[in-house]
Structure 1
């Protein structure tokens, strides 16, 4: 059985991730994250750490893993949770076609 994301039913997990992007998650959110971490095209939004524990940017993993990661110059994240939230938002948009227009925290 292949799990798929249902943008309407799975939307409830957005707020759970938003509140706690790192750590243990509910089974439903973990299912969603497992799906989001595998892109059949081979392209994948990833975090790239530029300064350990201090600075992260986003990159795009190419389908051919022998090719370099395309690294974005901006935005630069100074906390891992904000960076993880942006990865989640971009993967959600890539899979569902819908934007998540919410900040990490209100």
Structure 2
């Protein structure tokens, strides 16, 4: 069975996520998020909480469970929604090879 791949039709769901990254998501956006959250772990972008509800850092997952995550030097956030948007953009790029327009 072929795995679903992101395409031009999914740009509307990307816009939906950028509008409201936290909270309820439509079924179409949920499908996109499931694809982004699935697959291989190695190198996947994630957020690490530095101070609960105040500061987050960008990191990449290691290739195996239990190994420490790799913080991306110099990238921290003080706005959780903007942090979520950035991770979404980066995962979109990793899966499609294209940049999401702001």
Same fold (TM over 0.5): yes
1:39 maps to 2:9: no
Structure 1 unaligned residues grouped into runs of 5+: none
SS state at 2:45 partner: strand
User: In 2 relative to 1, CA 2–30 (structure 1 residues): closer, same or farther, beyond 3 Å?
Assistant: farther
Q: Structure 1 length as normaliser, TM-score?
A: 0.87
Task: Judge conservation of contact 1:42–1:63 (CA < 8 Å) in 2.
Answer: yes
User: In 2 relative to 1, CA 36–85 (structure 1 residues): closer, same or farther, beyond 3 Å?
Assistant: same
- State the distance in 2 between where 1:6 and 1:43 align: 19
My pick for the range that moved more, 84-93 or 58-67, is 58-67
Over the aligned positions, Cα root-mean-square deviation in angstroms equals 1.6
Structure 2 unaligned residues grouped into runs of 5+: none
Task: Judge conservation of contact 2:41–2:64 (CA < 8 Å) in 1.
Answer: no
Task: Give 1:41 deviation, angstroms.
Answer: 5.3
Aligned length: 102
| TM-superposition CA deviations, 1:46-91 (whole Å, max 9, x none) | 1001111110111101111232100123221101100000110010
- State the distance in 2 between where 1:22 and 1:72 align: 23
Q: Structure 2 length as normaliser, TM-score?
A: 0.90
